[in-house]
Amino acid sequence: MESTSARELLHAALEDSEKEVREAAAAALDRLEEACSVERLLANFQSEDLKTRVQAVDGLGRLHGRRACEALRTALEDPLVDVRAAAARALEEFPQPSLLEPLMRRLEDSDSLVRRTAIRALGSCQDPRMAAYIETMLDDPDPLIVRDALEALGRLGSGHLARVLPFTGHADPSVRCAALRLLPVIVESERD
């Protein structure tokens, strides 16, 4: 059956007298639309135009299917910084458990924007195991990376007091603020 006729059939079923049929038609229509979106986004991801590729990665980040995850995994390893950063940013909003390992590799990226975005994405994943990886970023010389790492540890509800305390006196005020905000989180987690 051609997708156009399937789409027409599903649209007609949205008017069915039975609620169960309307709900099934709506769910099937959503799946069909998502499949079409994935195809469009995958085609755009292959574009030579950087803006088109980045927009495709952003769109793929909102989808949760296997093919979208595979494309995001590829985007995390892309030679272009903007594409890698877009993939990490997409995972910040919708962390995919299957992509945590490739995302952790971005903590070693040569570009600080990619590292910062990967830190924020890992901090959003709600997986406390990521705290140990994020904590290693506290040694980075870039204060923005240190600040993002402290904030990510706060979102994960984790951190070691002895490791964080020195940052309360850091030269950069944003790092000091992030460390101070993290202290009650650490104290509370140590009580539990």
For residue 127, give the nearest of 98, 106, 90 by alpha carbon: 98
Taking the CB of residue 111, how many other CB atoms lie within 10 A of it? 13
Domains of the chain: 1-108 (1.25.10.10), 128-192 (1.25.10.10)
Question: What pLDDT is recorded for position 80?
Answer: 95
Beta carbons of 157 and 139 less than 8 angstroms apart: no
Taking the CB of residue 101, how many other CB atoms lie within 10 A of it? 10
Would you state the structure tokens that stand for residue 129, as one six-digit string?
A: 């195991």
pLDDT digits (tens, 9 = 90+) for 4-56: 587 788 788 888 898 898 888 777 777 777 667 778 888 888 889 999 999 99
pTM of structure? 0.78
Question: What pLDDT is recorded for position 107?
Answer: 96
Q: What Cα–Cα distance (Å) separates residue 53 from each residue in 100, 108, 150, 152, 158?
A: 22, 23, 31, 27, 35
The parts of the chain modelled with pLDDT lower than 50 are: 1
